[in-house]
Amino acid sequence: MTEETIKNDTALGERAMDKIEKQQTQRKSTKRISKAQRIKEEQARNQEILRVLEENYTEAGTELDYTNPFELLIATILAAQCTDRQVNKVTPGLFAKYPGPEEMVTLTDEELGVIIHSCGFYKTKSRNILQTCRILLAEYGGQVPDNMESLIKLPGVGRKTANVVMSNVFGKDAIAVDTHVFRVSNRLGLANAKDVLNTEKQLMENIPKNKWSEAHHWLIHHGRRVCKARKPDCPNCFLNHVCKYYNNGQMSKK
Ligand code: SF4
């Protein structure tokens, strides 16, 4: 092999390497662009979802009746596995006679159980409510604490109840993920999670903080009226143009 042939081969090899490197760089930047593009599209879609929800559910708020933090706390505990409407039938009589923790702790588990019987799980709920009242009296001067850490230590109070109380009566930005919020947000694509905690985290990322509390109500309203668990009314849903569940053809598989 002559020296010239060797030189030519080397040059050819270098050009080929250059070409490969260029192609790799191009592929990487195309990937980067498409990822950035995707994120941009997702953000625009999320904004559109929130805009449409707000437009349609401007007046949405909690459907539980209450006049103070204590009443909302108790009503929310009662609302577990029960409808707000049913809770609203029971609470006026309950709060009229037992307006605060001091009065409520005079009841026995059984007596409270009789009053709240129609809300279901009355034994557990009455035990939790009375224990919660005792803790409120012993540790918080009879007041409902306004922070997650303290609220979730109360019997019968999980993150959802704590978030409902914090956002509705203490005006704190919070997203309570109940069954409707979980279902609707994951169908829409506002979240993509298998459990409540991750759904809450993703919603906090995808929804501006000042909209958390309102968005919680919008999603609940939409879940109750349109995006029902068994039979979502997709063809007539004003969000079907941006809904992942609908546009991924989940409906046609049903
Ligand atoms: S299009 Fe269907 S799945 Fe999507 S939000 Fe509307 S009702 Fe729910």
Q: Is the pLDDT of residue 29 over 80?
A: no
Share the mean pLDDT of the chain: 89
Q: Specify the CATH number for 69-169; select among 3.40.1370.10, 3.40.50.10420, 1.10.340.30, 3.30.420.610.
A: 1.10.340.30
237 touches 243 (CB < 8 A): yes
> What pLDDT is stored for residue 230 in this prediction?
93
Of the listed ranges 17-31, 42-56, 65-79, 122-136, the least confidently predicted one is: 17-31
How much is the pLDDT for 10?
A: 66
Contact 71, 133 (CB under 8 A): no
Q: Is the pLDDT of residue 155 over 90?
A: yes
pLDDT tier at 254 (50, 70, 90 boundaries)?
Answer: very low
Enumerate the domain spans of the chain. 69-169, 179-253
Neighbours of 192 (CB within 10 A): 12
In this predicted structure, which of 26-35, 125-134, 191-200, 229-238 has the lowest mean pLDDT? 26-35
Averaged pLDDT, 209-223: 90
- Topology, domain 179-253: Endonuclease Iii, domain 2 (1.10.1670)
Q: Residue 97's closest CA among 89, 109, 106, 87?
A: 106
Could you tell me the pLDDT band of residue 5, with boundaries at 50, 70 and 90? Answer: low
For residues 178 and 42, what is the distance between their CA atoms, to the nearest angstrom? 24
Which of 46, 192, 245, 252, when mutated, tests ligand 1's pocket best, judged by the most ligand atoms within 8 Å of its CB? Answer: 245
Residues with CB under 6 A from ligand 1: 187-188, 226-227, 232-234, 237, 239-240, 243, 245-246
